[in-house]
Amino acid sequence: MQPLTDIKLGFSIYYLSENAVTLEFGHEISEDLLQQISSFNQLINHHPFTGFETAVPAYGTLSIFYDPIQVIRATDLPGIDCFDKVSAYLYQLNNQPAQIHNVPYNLITIPTCYGGIYGEDLEEVAALHNLSADKVIDLHSSTIYKVYMIGFVPGFAYLGGMSAQLATPRKPSPRKVIPKGSVGIAGEQTGIYPLQTPGGWQLIGRTPLTLFDATRTQPALLKAGDQVVFKPIDHHQFEQYRD
């Protein structure tokens, strides 16, 4: 781990609601922004202010949620209202020399059974790109993806890094039921459905892993900043994993 000292990140702060402000770091999808947002997320969680509840990272923003009653009563925070008090604290936190480390993100392997009943659209996706099904699997499973944010449904990871060769439009009409664990492609994105939901993604495979489980201490398997690789498995291995 490399220590990052005295970081000063560039962000502006805007009002989101009575109990939240948003820090805006930028307007594009980039690993640099991901790193900045992850660093500040770590910083605020290690140095919370009175009333801090949680921080929600997204592509270009980090939103800070708090209890306004605790914030307004906090005498250690300068300012006339919660927005002022929280903003002042966040700017000051950013300007303080702080020992913070590059967050140790995990590399998570997602065993995936491609094609057949596990990924009904694999052949269609392959045909659309004039590729063999094996080539699609190869392209999809030979990339290291980055988790940019978790959103949409509990535990759903927005992954960046898919080969442009695999970019495929959504299904013309969404399926009513997509089994949980389905690995899909929509436009230039790939992702894994943590829950059984309706959806319009092209399904190329399925993982036996549980992406979201409310009984775990960390319910979502993935978090922003994690790296993800897909490892092809056959249907025997899929059933073994499930047992």
Partner 1 sequence: MRIRIIKPGILSTIQDLGRKHYLSQAVPVSGAMDTLSARVANIAIGNPDHAAVIEFTYADAEFMTETDMLMAYAGDGATLQAGDIIIPPEKPVFIPAYTSIQLINNPAGSRTYLSVAGGWDIPEVLGSRSTFITAEIGGFNGRSLHAGDTLASTETFTPITATIFDRLKGETITYPAWSVARRMFLPADTKHIRIVPAHEFSWFHGLALVNFLSLPYTLSMNSNRMGYHLDGEPVTRIIKNELLSTAVTPGTIQVTGNGSLVLLMADCQTTGGYPRIAHVAAIDLPLCGQLKPGDTIYFEDISHQDAEMLYIEREQELQQLREAIQHKYL
Cβ within 8 Å of residue 218, ≥6 positions away: none
Residue 152 sits in the site that holds partner 1 (CB under 8 A): yes
Size of the site for partner 1 (CB under 8 A): 46
46 lies in the site for partner 1, by CB under 8 A:
no
Specify the length of the chain in residues.
243
Q: Distance between CA atoms of 95 and 72, rounded to whole angstroms? A: 23
Q: Does 51 bind partner 1 (CB under 8 A)?
A: no
Question: Using CB under 8 A, which of the segments 79-87, 112-120, 131-139, 164-172 binds partner 1?
Answer: 79-87
- Residue from the set 128, 153, 167, 186 that interacts with partner 1 by CB under 8 A: 153
**Interface residues for partner 1 in 169-198 (CB under 8 A)?**
195, 197
Q: What does the per-residue mask of binding to partner 1 show for 82-111, with x meaning CB under 8 A? A: xx----------------------------
> Which two three-digit tokens encode residue 29?
């999808």
Total Cβ atoms within 10 A of residue 242? 10
Per CB under 8 A, 156 contacts partner 1: yes
For residues 18-42, one letter each, b for 16 or more C-beta atoms within 10 angstroms of the residue's C-beta and e for the rest, the string is: ebbbbbebeeeeeeebbbbbbbbbb
Cβ 171 to partner 1 shortest distance, Å: 19
Q: Can you tell me which of 149, 162, 192, 228 binds partner 1, judged by CB under 8 A?
A: 149
Angle between helical axes of 31-46 and 82-95 (0-180°, round to 10): 110
Tokens representing residue 101 in the block: 């480390």
Q: Buried b vs exposed e over 78-109: b needs ≥16 C-beta within 10 Å?
A: eeeebbebbbebbeebbeeebebeeeebeebe
| Closer residue to partner 1 in complex, CB, 116/154 | 154
Question: Given the rule CB under 8 A, which residues bind partner 1?
Answer: 14-20, 22, 27-29, 53-61, 63, 65, 68-69, 72, 81-83, 149-156, 158, 195, 197, 212, 214, 218-220, 223-224
